Structure 1
């Protein structure tokens, strides 16, 4: 049994309105590729900042204007500082701002997409990889605007011993029509100082102990950000309290005198340098400055350099004498940043002589698990604004190292933190009347400590303890009295919740259920909780989502009366699968008779002296000729579905197509506004001895390999000794950049790096170039280039699906498992997520887990819309479940599988078509040797071919099977009918899997 896979892409357009790295990034569809105008513009920006104690609340109101005449969907990404999460989101609905409510992340995504297809007004804000947040807005009306509000609270860090520092980046790359900024600092003992300001007109004015600064501008592009240094007395603690249903939430700020002890650097240091594509976003200049301070302090040491991307390689040993590290510095400045990021490639046996490690990375492991197998201290240093702080903190804590966020502190302060044994907060003494205090673990104290908790009564006293290791060297008494302390204007409870979530997030998998409960209660966006806005009361009722305050009374009233009638129905596919299994068995047991055409006898010349009388043409004869002509040039019937009314193009006869490029892309102008792409594909010749696929195609890669197919033999059918073979010829992309890839791989790689800046966010660039290197048998470089796709965007399931197809095709099964597992984590509401993951597990020989996940496709609960979208997927899943059982049944536990589904039905040929983008309509056509076309309108052919259900949205898959294949050629065609996508995350990629025997 052989399987061949072929991939091809249908190019679509991605337009992005990019601001600089630290600013929100809005991505939308660009409808007209030949125009460079601003499709969506930030028309109005209003920022309100309020600082109370060490807590700053920032609220940004943004109005985006769509200049095009097409309705768009926008996707806005916010990188957030360490320990900061978005806690407020609002969207304009019918001219009025509506606040979002917290919902489980997977449910929020499912609801958003379900409502979006109805073309109404949902809004969604979610946390993606690292500390990055993304909001999806639909619709951005044609020649119209939408307004969103985003708010967050952050704890301010102590700077230079006497100031709390607030920073707001304002590095926008184009003027804003209306810009306003207001900042209020409450109860400040002295006037705040401005470290940086948008322009010279911003300043603070005093109103008692409150200071206000404000500017309003038109057609304005800020030159600088806003940095405020708030002076603090360090001799008295600050207390803020908020009444709760029982007791009080409290926040205490203390300013202990900084004490430290010098530490000794190891003589053997390991330096792990993240050289993945995302390393281009790090501030390497600042990182080198920190290294310089460390090396000059130690002066004589040995450094083992390791470079990390999708793999890990030792990059040399550098002996430093008298602080001279110029050779190492030159090596680091010449690092080529390429590939995805795989932390699990860092093994415990690397650089065995190192006694401690410095790890420079953003913490985002995009191409492998985020675990580091090192048992020596690892100091993690980050300078990227897009970072996974929790992962870096966890690595440091687990190994006994330190985490340094160079975004938040200066290089000198970072050096002090690393080169000294810092005073730490060790815990609380005599705290019987307080509970749930955070931080609850040892943390460094750099002149300032903030502790939040819950007080049970009206007043209490407790003691904060400080020291080194487990040795207490200082204590500070804290007195809380609800009658003496004025209640705070800030939301102290949410600050407490954020502190607890930050601590639990370090070990997320162990705490994810508690994180979910806490984040929903306090409205904080986390890895598993999003904020969502729905258009009307019926939508909140239908999806069982508690609405914001303005709709709550009506919601409660209706819910009591007709809850059961309103809630969206959930169902699984098991009953449909049982019915489908019976249908498959009936089909398989049907005998399809096919009679080989009688060969036309040779005709001899007729002598001239003989007259041959031709018979009269009868009606019957005319009909016969008509039928013959119809067989010679088959006519494709019109679409069955109303939205597929346009007829597919008539395809060439097999004999005529054989000598041509069978998989060339043809654009056909339809009568409607929607265009169709038809790609004609594999011509498969089937004989009694073997099955051979000869493909002249645009399929984007070549594969000769094995993937599990049905292996059970029918006792009534002889299986030939010679097994079938499927051959996919070389693919050649016609993109302009491919012309530069010539010669040997070394020179071609340099050409790729030179071209890359022009295509750095284009997925197909990496896809095509990687394929070139695969064809040159340079699989190491090919995989590195391909893995860049994982670093292009955060939590982009479409890109990861494309990546998974190619990893499967090239036999990188461990990486395929990681990528498909990520998609399943992001999109557990899709049946295809479980299927892709299951097939990846099967590729790697993990058959039990593969079977369990395939069966989950049939037992998960789906909403009505998703069930309708994926109707018929049971047919594909049943085939694959029985395939696993047929091949590996002795190794499998089948107790959990419904016995009605277990019935192996082996076939000669099976073709499966998958694609990577939702709401896309792609069709599988297959023409058999008799000239009959199997497709959505003719799903059962005369010789026994069977086409599965037509998927007009979703991800597919579609399948062709034939139990007993007749001799001859089978032509595979792929018809790209269109899509309902509004935002575009790269090209549509299709994979065709061809199984034989």
Structure 2
């Protein structure tokens, strides 16, 4: 069985939450003891750097060794420089390196997770928010090693002295057993210079015009990084060419004479400062230094300060005379960084100016990444995790400039901002060249690089440079395939990377073209990943063309038996039609109940003897079983239960055995069936049955959520109102939150560094502020969850639940839309987004997205996992149609699904993690409990299909509710993933008079704790 996980960031690779250098960071999951936490080390590191012209290719081969006796899992993150994308990834499979192949990102994630559940060895490298890349490594075998290869091409930049600069960070804080670094500079007329080197033994030695440096070390910890400066002659055009199927790819470097015109800064400047939590990653000292140069040059001006996090506010007007800006500088140095980031909150109403300077990383985690400003916006970045495309787009759209202070000095950045730079304007006489990039105006600071495709054997064209639309200089470029030797670098990939970088500025308009291009050239983008599969059958099953070494066998099998292997996909329409008929039959059934029956005494069921004949025994542990067998049993039981329910639509099925999730293979696989106030525990392996005794007040039936105090309330009898208890976390940090919100907020800020990467810290503290009626601070604190990790759907689901509960529906739409973007393979993604749209009054869009749940194609594993979700979606589709009437059009909905189904009571349970088993329990006024084993109650209650994995949801409905108290509980068996997203979080939506004009709703969000079985009280209400 796969062990439970605990997040650990490998200490040898910058063990901090916020990355401080551009280096790979390994997060080790599943480590439970201190020995396991120290078990994984980078054993071997081989780095090969090749520089040709202004293009550097870096290939890193890393071997990680796990010295523990437990299988672990790793996640390696690479923050990449501006304009750089990873183009090579390989993983060792059965002792041999296997190259990855490009696949659509969503499909790659779906395939990876499907194969990972089979305990096979897939590898996945994907691009996440900003220019950050991550790969998941599983398994890291006990007392064994795994090797990965990551490679990327980087177009080097020039400084004002026409010097190329290559930099490789090497600040590892542990010695590496075997360390190799080789650097080759090809065809350099001028000898390269070392600006920084790992130690004194590294040097570049000449071999003609090629320079080579190499070191091989054992148990070595580099003291410095590697920086190579390559001077270039500005009178020499550099050309790289590569033969293509038709024509040639080319890359041209020219060095136009630097010209500039001084910029006149406006008297009214808007300074927008990103104060979100991720702002702690920025180098604010460099930012203030740049701002100081701008102010001292201008001397007299007025600056309006705007602060952006999850919201936006004007922080004051500062009139600066004679360059004295002490007051503003002091304010900037003492800002508090808190909350997510929402660029769409920035507006001219709050901050009016003639031009703006925006200091941010470009990652808008809590709102759309667009700003509604119609004056020039200059975007400045100092963070290593940044969204360069967003920053470039904002600058380009508004007529401002983008400055990356990671790749240039403050002085150079000031020169760039303080002058109108010479720009590349276009090509003249370029009939024989096509697809040249850049294709738009770009600044030229002494160097310009152009890539394209040449149709003929040789040609020439003219590059034009100038200001605005005025050409002030031209340069002729001649391309001849016989004069220019074919390059050793992959020029086509450099060209593709340039084209993708330009298209990515307007990603939504170009995403389809980006996908085609990235798959052809093997470049990782927002919508394309690199994947490695273990065997030929997996490539065939998932319709993925394998790497070269498997293609011959792939093509052979393709002709013979691909149809038999190819994974089938299906939608849910047929199942939904069948379910609609079943729901109609259930709804039309009269459940006779006499009020007097409720008062009759209920007798406990007699306990069943265990297999040893001892009636006093409480639990008989099942024999150990493998995780795979547990899954098979659960799937078989689900199918059997569904067949039984279909055969007799309103007849209560026999209790179905359910497996409780366990944390390791040595624990028993048992399942619980509750009958009245006792519970039967049935072995999934032996079939033996024993009884757990309990009462209504026992922990088994009325447990608490671990770490949560429950304050019960008693509603007035027979009042149609939903009363939910107030939940308060009992975590240690909550004991410090005392006093009024102002003082409590300062306490929170002091505690935050200890819990900075703990989602539940922000959840609990935000909940406290909501209870104090300080919803503004509460939302800011809650929105920090969005800044904790890149593209983490589990975190965003937790956030969406709380936003729904607190009525922040516009924010809920953004969060659920991001989840849908990341996980379109899950039915729940469409449903969550649809319900957020409905919350915000966008009923037609909500209806359309609900219907998509039923019309999407799902692979067999996901379809089996989510069997029964159609019952919940049918209810929600018909609720929208019934409530909104003329506000929605149902003409696109299959008419067989439209059926009015109003009910007195409806409860829906959702949770945020995959591979999770959670049950909904509802006890009616007669004392009868509806749950997976008693899915049809005597008074007409109906529990939907039991989800033993996946995200749920589960639903309880009753058409005609009897008077009295209803109690809602959650039984949490556990999950198989505890990582940065924290514990599993559930949300319950409680409705009375559902799908009628008198509908009421309450939402409650609760964190669960593993190992706590039994009923966790969610809420209760009187009907």
Same fold (TM over 0.5): yes
Instruction: Provide the C-alpha distance between the structure 2 equivalents of 1:809 and 1:579, rounded to a whole number of angstroms.
Output: 33
Displacement of 1:141 in angstroms is 1.6
Matched, 1:24 2:17: no
Q: Distance in 2 between matches of 1:248 and 1:557?
A: 33
Aligned residue in 1 for 2:734? 738
CA contact (8 A) 1:24 1:79 kept: yes
Matches within 5 A, 1:212-361: 212-352=212-352, 354-361=353-360
Q: Give 1:439's aligned residue.
A: 438
**CA displacement at 1:890 relative to structure 2:** 1.7
Distance 1:784 1:12, change over 3 A: farther
Aligned to 1:126: 126
Q: Aligned partners of 1:873, 1:80: CA distance in 2, in Å?
A: 40
- Do the aligned residues in 2 keep the contact of 1:251 with 1:492 (CA within 8 Å)? yes
- Whole-angstrom distance in 1 between the partners of 2:314 and 2:600: 73
- Are residues 1:14 and 2:7 paired? yes
Cα deviation for residue 524 of structure 1 reads: 0.5
Aligned CA distance change for structure 1 residues 599 and 984 (closer, same or farther; 3 Å): closer
Match of 1:859 among 842, 855, 859: 855
Instruction: State the match for 1:514 in structure 2.
Output: 513
Helix, strand or coil for the counterpart of 1:412? helix
Structure 1 residues 83-111: Cα deviation after superposition (integer angstroms, max 9, x where no partner):
00000000000000000000111111111
Indicate how the Cα distance of structure 1 residues 730 and 105 shifts in structure 2: closer, same or farther if over 3 A, else same. same
Kept after mapping to 2: 8 A contact 1:72/1:982: no
Compute the displacement of 1:393 (Å). 0.3
198-207 or 406-415, larger mean C-alpha shift: 198-207
Asked whether 1:912 is paired with 2:908, we answer yes
Render the CA deviation track for 1:863-921: whole Å, top value 9, x for unaligned: 11110010000000001111111111221111100111111122221111111011111
Is the 8 Å Cα contact of residues 6 and 978 (structure 2) preserved in structure 1? no
3-state DSSP of counterpart to 2:729: coil
Alpha-carbon distance change, 421 to 891 in structure 1, aligned in 2, over 3 angstroms: same
Aligned-pair distance for 1:261?
1.0
Q: Is the 8 A contact 1:251 1:496 kept in 2?
A: yes
In structure 2, do the counterparts of structure 1 residues 226 and 385 end up closer, same or farther at CA, with 3 Å as the change threshold?
same
Range 763-772 or range 966-975, more displaced? 966-975
**CA-to-aligned-CA distance 1:250-277 (integer Å, 9 cap, x gap):** 0000111211111111111110000000
Q: Is the 8 A contact 1:105 1:528 kept in 2?
A: yes
Please give the alpha-carbon distance, in whole angstroms, between the structure 1 residues aligned to 2:549 and 2:696.
59
Q: CA deviation at 1:289?
A: 0.7
Partner of 1:165: 165
Partners of 2:548 and 2:919 in 1: CA distance: 46
**Shift of residue 729, structure 1, vs aligned partner:** 2.9
What is the distance in 2 between the residues matched to 1:536 and 1:460?
47
Specify whether residues 374 and 364 from structure 1 end up closer, same or farther in structure 2 by C-alpha distance, changes over 3 A only: same
Report deviation, 1:489.
Answer: 0.4
CA–CA separation in structure 2 for the residues paired with 1:990 and 1:372: 34
Q: Which residue of 2 aligns with 1:63?
A: 63
Change (3 A) 1:89 1:375: same
For structure 2, list consecutive stretches of 5 or more residues without a partner in the other structure.
609-617, 620-653, 662-668, 687-691, 994-1023
CA distance in 2, matches of 1:436, 1:595: 79
Q: Distance in 2 between matches of 1:439 and 1:781?
A: 45
Q: CA deviation digits over 1:431-461, x for unaligned, max 9?
A: 1111111111111111111100000010001
1:421 offset after TM fit, Å?
Answer: 0.8
Q: Residue 777 in 1 paired to residue 773 in 2?
A: yes
Q: Check conservation: 2:710, 2:728, Cα contact below 8 A.
A: no
| Residue 367 of structure 2 is aligned to residue 368 of structure 1 | yes
Which residue does the alignment assign to 1:153? Answer: 153
Please report how far the alpha carbon of residue 643 of structure 1 lies from its aligned counterpart in structure 2 after TM superposition: 6.8
> Shift of the alpha carbon at 1:651?
9.2
Confirm or deny: 8 A CA contact 1:917 1:954 kept in the other structure. Answer: yes
SS at match of 1:731: strand
- 1:960 Cα offset (Å): 1.2
Q: Distance in 1 between matches of 2:103 and 2:696?
A: 46
Q: How far is 1:725 from its partner?
A: 1.3
The structure 1 residue matched to 2:889, chosen from 886, 893, 896, is 893
Q: Which residue of structure 1 aligns with residue 1005 of structure 2?
A: none
Contact 1:12–1:988, Cα closer than 8 Å, also in 2: no
Measured against aligned partners, the alpha-carbon deviations of 1:721-745 in whole angstroms (never above 9, x if no partner) come to 9972112232211111111111011
| Equivalent-residue separation in structure 1 for 2:26 and 2:304 (angstroms) | 41
Shift of 1:598: 6.0
SS class of match (1:850): helix
Deviation per residue, 1:451-507 (Å, 9 max, x gap): 000000100011111111111111111110001110000000000000000110000
* CA deviation map 1:39-98 (0-9, x unaligned): 422222111100000000000111112233332332111110000000000000000000
Verify: 1:647 aligned to 2:671, yes or no: yes
**Cα shift at 1:31:** 3.5
Q: Give yes or no for the alignment of 1:550 onto 2:549.
A: yes
Is the contact made by 1:13 and 1:33 (CA closer than 8 Å) also made in structure 2? no
Whole-Å separation in 1 of the counterparts to 2:418 and 2:113: 51
Distance 1:745 1:982 in 2: 32
Relative contact order, higher structure (CA 8 A, sep 6+): 1
1:699-733 CA-partner distances (Å, limit 9, x unpaired): 979999xxxxxxxxxxxxxxx99972112232211
Please say if 1:539 is aligned against 2:538: yes
- Out of 727, 731, 737, the position equivalent to 2:723 is 727
Q: Which residue of 2 aligns with 1:617?
A: none
Question: Matches of 2:695 and 2:955 in 1, distance apart?
Answer: 15
Cα deviation 1:366-385 (Å, max 9, x = unaligned): 00000000000000000000
1:90-138 deviation digits (Å, cap 9, x = unpaired)? 0000000000000111111111111111110111111111111111122
Which ranges in structure 1 are unaligned for 5 or more consecutive residues?
A: 1-10, 603-623, 655-667, 673-677, 684-693, 705-719
Given that residues 935 and 943 in structure 2 are in contact (C-alpha distance below 8 angstroms), is that contact kept between their aligned partners in structure 1? Answer: yes
SS in 2 for 1:495: helix
Task: Show CA shifts across 1:582-606 (max 9, x none).
Answer: 111111122222233469899xxxx
- SS of 1:73's equivalent in the other structure is strand
Please tell me whether the aligned partners of residues 79 and 385 of structure 1 are also in contact (alpha carbons under 8 angstroms). yes
Whole-Å separation in 2 of the counterparts to 1:776 and 1:929: 34
SS in 2 for 1:145: strand
CA distance, structure 2, for counterparts of residue 423 and residue 601 of structure 1: 91
Partner in structure 1 of residue 1019 of structure 2: none
1:190 and 1:136 map into 2 onto residues whose CA distance is 42
Q: Distance in 1 between matches of 2:717 and 2:32?
A: 56
TM-score of the pair, normalised by structure 1: 0.88
Q: Is the 8 A contact 2:88 2:150 kept in 1?
A: yes
Mapped partners of 1:125, 1:681: distance in 2: 52
CA distance in 1, matches of 2:196, 2:821: 41
With over 3 angstroms needed to count, the CA separation of the structure-2 counterparts of 1:449 and 1:64, relative to structure 1, is same
Partner-residue secondary structure (3-state), 1:908: strand
RMSD (Å) for aligned C-alpha atoms: 2.9
- For the residue of structure 1 that corresponds to 2:595, the secondary structure is coil
1:206 aligns with 2:200: no
May I ask how many residue pairs the two structures share in their alignment?
920
Does the 8 Å contact 1:682/1:697 carry over to 2? no
**Normalising by the residue count of structure 2, what TM-score does the alignment of the two structures yield?**
0.86
C-alpha separation between the residues in 1 aligned to 2:270 and 2:757?
32
- The separation in 2 between residues aligned to 1:837 and 1:647, in whole angstroms, is 34
CA distance in 2, matches of 1:921, 1:229: 57
Deviation at 1:625, TM superposition (A): 7.0
Deviation digits for residues 362-419 of structure 1 (CA, Å, limit 9, x no counterpart): 0000000000000000000000000000000000000000000110010000000000
| Cα pair distance change 1:495/1:598, threshold 3 Å | closer
Q: Give the Cα–Cα distance (whole angstroms) in 1 for the partners of residues 318 and 256 of structure 2.
A: 40
CA distance in 2, matches of 1:533, 1:16: 24
Aligned to 2:689: none
In structure 2, relative to structure 1, the CA distance for the partners of 1:73 and 1:831 (3 Å cut) is: same
Report the equivalent of 2:844: 848
CA–CA separation in structure 2 for the residues paired with 1:820 and 1:650: 35
C-alpha separation between the residues in 2 aligned to 1:650 and 1:495?
Answer: 64
**Hey, what does 2:469 align to over in structure 1?**
470
| Alignment pair present for 1:95 and 2:91 | no
Aligned residue for 1:648, secondary structure, equals strand
What SS does the aligned partner of 1:951 have?
A: coil
The answer (yes or no) to whether the contact 2:660–2:973 under 8 Å persists in 1 is no
> What SS is found at the alignment partner of 2:357?
strand
Please, which of 954, 958, 965 is the counterpart of residue 961 of structure 2? 965
